[in-house]
Amino acid sequence: MSNKIKKQSLLGKTPQRKKPAASTNKRKATSQTRAAPQPTSSAVSPELPVTKKSRTGLIAAIVVVCTILIIPKPQLLTYEKLGLVTQSVYWPGVFGYGAMLFDSNLQPNADLARNSLYLCQNNKQPETCHKYRVTEQAGFFSALNKLILD
């Protein structure tokens, strides 16, 4: 149980201590590992904005697809009454409100499940409505083609 005596110099200088070899190896190893990630981090950093851009683009594409699926699309209807056959572009409106025929001032009430179309001058007065039989329904591209050509 002896106490170790520290050596002191006369002018207040302390003897230089040798650093353990293990600590220098750690510093060299950390400096080498730090040097290695730097090239990879510069290679990775340009990829991070690309990932964010692709996520933003993916989210925008999902929103556009959902919007296309939710918003009603116009249809080309062929309807007749007393032998008179007519084709019109019918837009069903959003949730049933705002339905319209693009080439008529009349207000349509369509029951496409029963193949009937009611065209009214005033929806509140049923005696102003005329019933038409829907003979054919075409999709969005046919309606778009009709709108462009007419």
Q: For 72-123, how does the pLDDT look when each residue is reduced to its tens digit (9 = 90+)?
A: 889 999 999 999 999 999 998 887 788 899 888 999 998 989 999 999 998 8
Q: What is the pLDDT of residues 11-68, one digit of tens each?
A: 666 656 666 655 555 555 555 555 444 554 444 445 545 566 788 889 999 999 988 8
Nearest CA among 130, 83, 141, 127 for reference residue 104: 130
CA distances from residue 145 to 74, 96, 126, 140 in whole angstroms, order as listed:
11, 24, 33, 9
Residue 5 phi/psi, 5-degree rounding, is -95, 130
Q: Token digits for 24?
A: 């220098």
Beta bridge partners of 97: 94
**Which residue type sits at 63?**
V
125 vs 150, which has greater pLDDT?
Answer: 125
